[in-house]
């Protein structure tokens, strides 16, 4: 199975895509990215992802190399090409913009480089609600990141090291703790349910403003489920009735164990079940709508 990629204006088999080792993305981790879900061949929440891409680019002093309409056309072609190629109705797009090739390594940010634009879309196998209800286990980990975590930068070594801690501990995700407060997972946001109220940490520089997170808050509002955005300590998390992690790749996943302690009696909780249905309904409706 060959996967089609987009690189600087061309659609090519992924194995043929190559860039210079002197791209600043390689040398300095000087770039940003997005991961965007595709459901029934429909790109989900594209505007929101492009707005966040723009915010990340501004954060590293770059400008968007394409208009939203250009991105839409480019990514739609990518999804269709991959659908023809491997029949993937459901996919996930990885899209990356780095500052580009620079012959002589220089710490100063140059203003005359051509950005390297790369995108690829992989087939995605959907997991059923029953499978997801098995839940995942998580641990807490100490924050080792920089202070601009709202930028979705390709420089992700701190995240992969923290994730590896989780894997080494035999669990599926780590929740990042900074000064006693839980911020987010290594590639997800998290929610807590306690006494019938959903809560998640407020947006700020120390976490990524997840598109899935925002959708869940909007769904809570729409379905009149009480919710709050407030700081959550590691201690409070241990007392949670439910914990979920959320991302474009995983959707909404229940956490059944935190730091070795069962959460929600080690089972997916009723709030998770309700929200899972609301989210599934939202993405199904979006995929059926003519415009996106
Ligand atoms: N990451 N926080 C972090 C640190 C993340 O890396 C991600 C997603 C999220 C959730 O954001 P969203 O709901 O927009 O996917 C929160 C992607 C999936 C990744 O790096 O693979």
Residue with tokens 């997916």: 268
Cα pseudo-dihedral 217, 219, 222, 228, rounded to 10: -20
**Residue 62 confidence (pLDDT) above 50:** yes
Per-residue pLDDT of 204-224, as tens digits, reads: 999 999 999 999 999 999 999
Query: For residue 242, how many other CB atoms are within 10 A of its CB?
Result: 23
Average pLDDT over residues 92-109: 98
Take atom 9 of ligand 1 and give the residue whose Cα is closest. 188
Residue where one domain finishes, among candidates 88, 123, 158: 123
Q: What is the mean pLDDT of the chain?
A: 96
**Residue 291 confidence (pLDDT) above 70:** no
Burial code (b: 16+ CB inside 10 Å, e: under 16) for 119-148 equals bbbebbeeeeeeebbebbbbbbbebebeee
Q: Does residue 25 line the site of ligand 1, with CB under 6 A? A: no
CA distance 172 to 168: 10
Decide if 56 contacts 121 (C-beta within 8 A).
Answer: no
Q: Does residue 200 line the site of ligand 1, with CB under 6 A? A: no
- Residue 282 shares a structural domain with residue 159: yes
Three-class DSSP category at 279: helix
Verify whether residue 124 is a known catalytic residue.
no
Q: How far is the CA of 28 from the centre of ligand 1 (A)?
A: 21
Per-residue pLDDT of 1-34, as tens digits, reads: 689 999 999 999 999 999 999 999 999 999 999 9
Per-residue pLDDT of 146-161, as tens digits, reads: 999 999 999 999 999 9
CA distance 33 to 153: 6
Question: Does some domain include residue 292?
Answer: no
- Residue 178 shares a structural domain with residue 83: no
Q: How far is the CA of 175 from the centre of ligand 1 (A)?
A: 13
Q: Does residue 211 line the site of ligand 1, with CB under 6 A? A: yes
Of 42, 137, 152, 215, the active-site residue reads 152
- Residue 105 shares a structural domain with residue 25: yes
Take atom 1 of ligand 1 and give the residue whose Cα is closest. 187
pLDDT at 86: 73
pLDDT at 83: 87
Residue where one domain finishes, among candidates 93, 123, 153: 123
- The CATH number covering residue 213 comes to 3.20.10.10
Decide if 249 contacts 187 (C-beta within 8 A).
Answer: yes
Number of domains comprising the chain: 2
Q: How far is the CA of 179 from the centre of ligand 1 (A)?
A: 22
Q: Does residue 56 line the site of ligand 1, with CB under 6 A? A: no
Question: Does some domain include residue 81?
Answer: yes
| Cα dist from 243 to 31, 132, 208, 210, 262, whole Å | 32, 13, 18, 16, 11
Average pLDDT over residues 232-244: 97
pLDDT band of 292, cuts 50, 70, 90: very low
CB neighbours of 270 closer than 8 A, spacing ≥ 6? Answer: none
Note down the domain range covering 74.
4-123
Decide if 227 contacts 220 (C-beta within 8 A).
Answer: yes
Q: What is the pTM of this model?
A: 0.96
Per-residue pLDDT of 147-198, as tens digits, reads: 999 999 999 999 999 999 999 999 999 999 999 999 999 999 999 999 999 9
Residue where one domain finishes, among candidates 65, 92, 123: 123
- Residue 136 shares a structural domain with residue 274: yes
- Residue 136 shares a structural domain with residue 107: no
């Amino acid at each position: 199975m060959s996967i089609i990629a987009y690189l600087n204006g061309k659609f090519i088999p992924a194995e043929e895509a190559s860039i210079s080792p002197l791209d600043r993305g390689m040398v300095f981790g000087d770039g940003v990215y997005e991961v965007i879900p595709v459901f029934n061949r429909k790109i989900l929440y594209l505007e929101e992802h492009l707005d966040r891409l723009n915010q990340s680019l501004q954060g590293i002093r770059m400008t968007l190399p394409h208009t939203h309409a250009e991105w839409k056309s480019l990514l739609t072609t990518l999804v269709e090409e991959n659908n023809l190629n491997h029949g993937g109705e459901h996919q996930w797009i990885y899209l990356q913009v780095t500052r580009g090739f620079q012959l002589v390594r220089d710490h100063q940010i140059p203003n005359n480089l051509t950005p390297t634009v790369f995108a690829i879309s992989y087939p995605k196998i959907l997991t059923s609600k029953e499978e997801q209800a098995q839940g995942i286990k998580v641990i807490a980990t100490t924050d080792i990141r920089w202070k601009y975590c709202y930028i979705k930068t390709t420089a992700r070594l701190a995240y992969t090291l923290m994730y590896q801690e989780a894997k080494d501990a035999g669990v599926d995700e780590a929740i990042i703790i900074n000064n006693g407060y839980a911020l987010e997972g290594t590639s997800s946001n998290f929610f807590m349910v306690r006494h019938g109220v959903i809560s998640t940490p407020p947006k700020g520089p120390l976490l990524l403003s997840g598109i899935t997170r925002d959708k869940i808050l909007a769904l809570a509002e729409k379905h009149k489920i009480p919710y709050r955005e407030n700081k959550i300590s590691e201690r409070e998390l241990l007392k949670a009735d439910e914990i979920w992690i959320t991302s474009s790749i995983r959707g909404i996943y229940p956490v059944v164990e935190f730091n070795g302690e069962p959460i929600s009696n080690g089972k997916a909780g009723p709030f998770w079940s309700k929200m899972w249905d609301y989210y599934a309904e939202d993405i199904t409706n979006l995929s059926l709508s003519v415009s996106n």
